[in-house]
Amino acid sequence: MTHKPSYSLHHPQNVLDNTTTGQSSKGLKRRKRDWIIPPINFPENDRGPFPKPMVQIRSSRDKEVQLQYSITGPGADLDPKGLFIMDRITGWLSVTQPLDREGKDKYKLFAHAVAVGDGKAEDPMEIVINVIDQNDNKPEFTKDTFLGSVPESSPKGFEFMKVTAVDKDEPGSANSDIRYTLVSQDPQQPTASMFFLNPLTGRIQLHSDGLDREKYPKYTLIIQAADMVGEGLSNTATAIITVTDSNDNAPEFHPSDYTATVPENKVGAVVVKMTVTDGDEPHTPAWSTTYKIIQGNDGGFFNVSTGPSKLEGIITTAKGLDFEKTRQYTLLVIVENDAPFATRLPTSTATVTVNVEDVNEAPIFNPVEKVVVTPENLAVGADLIVYTATHPDTANSKKVVYRTGNDPAGWLNVSKETGLIKIRSPMDRESPFVKNGRYQATILAIDNNDIPATGTGTLLIELEDVNDSAPIIEEREITVCNQDSQPILLSVTDKDGPGFAAPFRVDLQGSSKNNWTARMDDTSEWRFSFMLSEDRET
């Protein structure tokens, strides 16, 4: 059987008491059993001596019967066992060793009172012990070294990284309220306050202008984190800031004037290689270059490209230059980086003067291929045609002479001085050198330069057919048996073309016509036969 007595709690004077109930002059607080007993607040890291009394629990029935007191719960009879003990006779609750709020910040125990003899027990009373935080933990940075980067062209106020520290003390209390401080900056150029550290957030931003990767590529900051709003325990960490390259250096031509000589007519010839310098980080888009011809290339005669070194512009000819038309070009070339400039920068230009070198060019026939139509029986020595060439080097007058190049049948003769072509030997449309009625020959035009240049023209002669070939009986000898009167077929061919060949007429000559007759057989357009049959009197 259980009873519901009231309890009194007695606190030692040196124990923190946050209860709101009144105390008697003897330090006793009385309440009914169903009242809620306020939590007991006890500081962590107390130095003892131990065991150290915390609070005394007394039942209102202890004057009536002898009672024995005990406690249960985590920290008493459950792990961590023995942290709290209670005197069986007096009801004093004591702690046996220092408490650690970061290990456990609250304990819930149950106090028990049992009558000696009859074993009657009171209802258990819940006791809550709050472990009061002390500032016993320094802030800890999440990293020993923080790495960050900032573009050198960043404006003042640009935020680029953050440092973070944590404190194991009670959240929301001053013991864990951290403030950040920038302790040192190395190097201290161009100013000692290049960066600003937000004391509340740990965010780092650019505080001054003047970042220059080419001079100061890296900064090392020592940062402090202190609790108690910056006045308590502290710790430090390192922040290493790499200044990344921005395109803040324009490429420059060195030199900026070039002169080159290029032979005419040559496509893809290298005109000039232009060199530049750039102060940005090598092998980055802010360092590698691209080129453009912005003036003097209206005809599109030149190309410009980036050389293998990325700091070289190469101009080549896109078309063959013509000395007789333009002897000199002046090109204006601009250089830029692959990446756009981070700030407004002056662009560098180069002037390239290209002199066109005169080259001995071959005479040119006009047209390059010439067609002439003539009968195949044009007389030997007759004029066929005049076929001449002009010399493109108008600046230097050169003499041109002519001769035949390829004349497979040997039918032509060309005048050395005038280019007049005459018939040298009889032409024949039926010649094996004639294909589809055309005979092809080449005529050469040669100038009188120290190293002569030769131009070639093609002459196509279309031969008109004439009836200059007699029909031919292919079977030159035949044997006939008089006992057999079957017709005999003979083949007739003619080398001439249509109009001068079939149809044929056949006649028997001499005494043959006394015994034989002949007639044409039209079974073939080109191959004709005549029939021989015996015609004898019986």
Of 106, 132, 158, which residue constitutes the final position of a domain? 132
Lowest mean pLDDT among 254-268, 365-379, 512-526: 512-526
Looking at residue 336, its pLDDT comes to: 96
Please spell the DSSP secondary structure of 197-240, one letter per residue. Answer: E-TTT-EEEE-SS---TTT--EEEEEEEEEHHHHTS-EEEEEEE
Q: Kindly report, residue by residue over 320-358, the tens digit of the pLDDT.
A: 999 989 999 999 999 999 999 888 889 999 999 999 998
Tokens found for residue 447 = 């100038």
Q: With contact defined as beta carbons under 8 Å apart, do 202 and 180 qualify?
A: yes
Whole-angstrom distance, CA of residue 358 vs CA of residue 255:
27
Q: Residue 461 CB: number of other CB atoms within 10 A?
A: 25
Mean pLDDT score of the chain, rounded to an integer?
85
The answer on 395 and 340 residing in a single domain is no
Cβ contacts of 290 within 8 Å, gap of 6 or more? 306, 335, 336, 337, 338
The answer on 125 and 10 residing in a single domain is yes
Could you tell me which residue, 500 or 416, shows the higher pLDDT?
416
CATH of the domain at 380: 2.60.40.60
The answer on 454 and 384 residing in a single domain is yes
Q: With contact defined as beta carbons under 8 Å apart, do 289 and 311 qualify?
A: yes
CB-based burial of residue 147 (10 Å sphere; 0-12 exposed, 13-18 middle, 19+ buried)?
exposed
What is the band of 31 on the pLDDT scale with cuts at 50, 70, 90?
Answer: very low
Whole-angstrom distance, CA of residue 176 vs CA of residue 170:
6
Looking at residue 379, its pLDDT comes to: 94
Q: Kindly report, residue by residue over 426-457, the tens digit of the pLDDT.
A: 999 889 999 999 999 999 999 988 889 999 99
**Residue 538 confidence (pLDDT) above 60:** no
Lowest mean pLDDT among 120-134, 285-299, 405-419: 120-134
**Residue 24 confidence (pLDDT) above 60:** no
Could you tell me which residue, 509 or 185, shows the higher pLDDT?
185
Structural domains in the chain (count): 5
**Residue 34 confidence (pLDDT) above 70:** no
Looking at residue 8, its pLDDT comes to: 53
3-state helix, strand and coil shares in percent for the chain, rounded to the nearest 5: 0, 40, 55
pTM, rounded to two decimals: 0.52
Tokens found for residue 217 = 């590529």
Of 185, 213, 244, which residue constitutes the final position of a domain? 244
The answer on 377 and 457 residing in a single domain is yes
The answer on 223 and 144 residing in a single domain is yes
Whole-angstrom distance, CA of residue 327 vs CA of residue 355:
6
**Residue 16 confidence (pLDDT) above 60:** no
Round the CA-based radius of gyration of the chain to a whole number and report it.
60
Looking at residue 32, its pLDDT comes to: 41
Tokens found for residue 485 = 């009167």
The answer on 6 and 128 residing in a single domain is yes
Q: With contact defined as beta carbons under 8 Å apart, do 366 and 455 qualify?
A: no
The answer on 127 and 12 residing in a single domain is yes
Domain, as residue range, for 146: 140-244
Whole-angstrom distance, CA of residue 472 vs CA of residue 495:
9
The answer on 15 and 127 residing in a single domain is yes
Q: With contact defined as beta carbons under 8 Å apart, do 408 and 373 qualify?
A: no
The answer on 301 and 393 residing in a single domain is no
Q: With contact defined as beta carbons under 8 Å apart, do 303 and 316 qualify?
A: yes
Could you tell me which residue, 121 or 533, shows the higher pLDDT?
121
Q: Kindly report, residue by residue over 405-426, the tens digit of the pLDDT.
A: 999 999 999 999 999 999 999 9
Looking at residue 497, its pLDDT comes to: 63
**Residue 182 confidence (pLDDT) above 80:** yes
Rounded average pLDDT over 479-487: 62
The answer on 374 and 337 residing in a single domain is no
Could you tell me which residue, 9 or 256, shows the higher pLDDT?
256
The answer on 371 and 457 residing in a single domain is yes
Question: Quick one: which of 79, 99, 95 has its CA closest to 87?
Answer: 95
Instruction: Give the max Cα distance, the chain.
Output: 186
Of 299, 326, 357, which residue constitutes the final position of a domain? 357
Rounded average pLDDT over 37-42: 87
The answer on 149 and 236 residing in a single domain is yes
Tokens found for residue 440 = 């092809």
Could you tell me which residue, 11 or 386, shows the higher pLDDT?
386
Looking at residue 527, its pLDDT comes to: 37
Q: Residue 323 CB: number of other CB atoms within 10 A?
A: 22
**Residue 10 confidence (pLDDT) above 80:** no
